[in-house]
A and B are shown apart, each in its own frame.
Chain A
Amino acid sequence: DTAVSQTPKYLVTQMGNDKSIKCEQNLGHDTMYWYKQDSKKFLKIMFSYNNKELIINETVPNRFSPKSPDKAHLNLHINSLELGDSAVYFCASSQGGNGYTFGSGTRLTVV
């Protein structure tokens, strides 16, 4: 059983398009996150949700909109994609801020 699963694994799209990445966790964790990993492998938090409530929004452009329909799901919708949005996006979950469990990532390429 995959603990944190995100889809799709790869996403290639043109500039200006709108796309979504889905994430689900079956660990019963209260908190879910989106992290962005750049080409230098640096991981930076974008959002966190605790029990469907937005907790952290780290100066991310408004084109990025997370949605948490329930505490097991956290999706990421991106409008008007730009070249600079190309990166690997990771979903993660934790309970009480303890060790995070990460998904296997979505490699987004904007052309």
Chain B
Amino acid sequence: TQLLEQSPQFLSIQEGENLTVYCNSSSVFSSLQWYRQEPGEGPVLLVTVVTGGEVKKLKRLTFQFGDARKDSSLHITAAQPGDTGLYLCAGASGSGNTGKLIFGQGTTLQVKP
């Protein structure tokens, strides 16, 4: 069974601080996706990383895929209250239209003004 361990589960920080969320597995994934979910809504895709060692930036968010494609991290610089939400990593298992996403447990981030 493929599992994704996401840490930390909860994070409460002050505006302006930096943070990193980790997503680890013993399995290799074809891609790793990060989502953000707000209360009462579905997850929204932030980024997909495909190549081992790949780094992608989305404004103050930096995503990295591990060299072995088993782990990933999300780093947020100078967090803002608007970054508050549930962050989910998801590994793509299988290929193309016959695959599925396996989700981590999620990280609930609260950024206080």
**What residues of chain A have their CB less than 8 Å away from a CB belonging to chain B?**
4, 30-31, 33, 40-45, 48, 50-51, 55-56, 58, 90, 92, 94-105
Asked whether, in the complex, the Cβ of B97 is within 8 Å of the Cβ of A105, the reply is no
* Complex Cα spacing A97 to B101, Å: 8
Q: How far is the CA of A94 from the CA of B101 in the complex (A)?
A: 11
- Chain B residue with Cβ nearest A33: B100
Partner of A103, one of B42, B48, B96, B103: B42
Measured as residues with beta carbon below 8 angstroms from the partner, the interface class of chain B is 20 to 34
Distance (whole angstroms) from the CB of B61 to the closest CB of chain A: 15
Q: Which of B67-113 contact A (CB under 8 A)?
A: 86, 88, 90, 92, 94-103, 105-106, 108
Q: Which B residues contact A (CB, under 8 angstroms)?
A: 30, 33, 35, 37, 40-45, 48, 86, 88, 90, 92, 94-103, 105-106, 108
Q: Which single residue of chain B is at the shortest CB-CB distance from A94? A: B97
Whole-angstrom CA separation of A77 from B15 in the bound complex? 44
Tell me which residues across on chain B come within 8 A of A96, comparing CB atoms.
96-97
Q: Tally of A-B residue pairs with Cβ under 8 A?
A: 67
Task: Report the Cα distance A60→B43, complex, angstroms.
Answer: 22
**18 A-B pairs in the complex with CB atoms less than 8 angstroms apart:** A41-B105, A41-B106, A42-B105, A45-B100, A45-B101, A48-B100, A55-B98, A90-B42, A92-B42, A94-B97, A96-B97, A97-B98, A99-B45, A100-B45, A100-B101, A101-B45, A102-B35, A104-B40
The 5 tightest CB contacts between A and B, nearest first, are A102-B42, A99-B45, A43-B103, A50-B97, A97-B99
**CB < 8 Å neighbour of A42 from B30, B94, B106:** B106
Q: How far is the CA of A56 from the CA of B43 in the complex (A)?
A: 21
**A104: which B residues are within 8 A, CB to CB?**
40-42
Given contacts A96-B96, A104-B41, 14 further A-B contacts (CB under 8 A): A33-B100, A41-B108, A44-B103, A50-B97, A55-B98, A56-B98, A58-B100, A90-B42, A90-B43, A97-B94, A97-B97, A99-B45, A100-B45, A103-B42
How far apart are A91's CB and chain B's nearest CB, in angstroms? 8
Give the distance in Å from the alpha carbon of A45 to the alpha carbon of B103 in the complex: 9
Could you say which residues of chain A place their CB within 8 Å of the CB of B90? 43
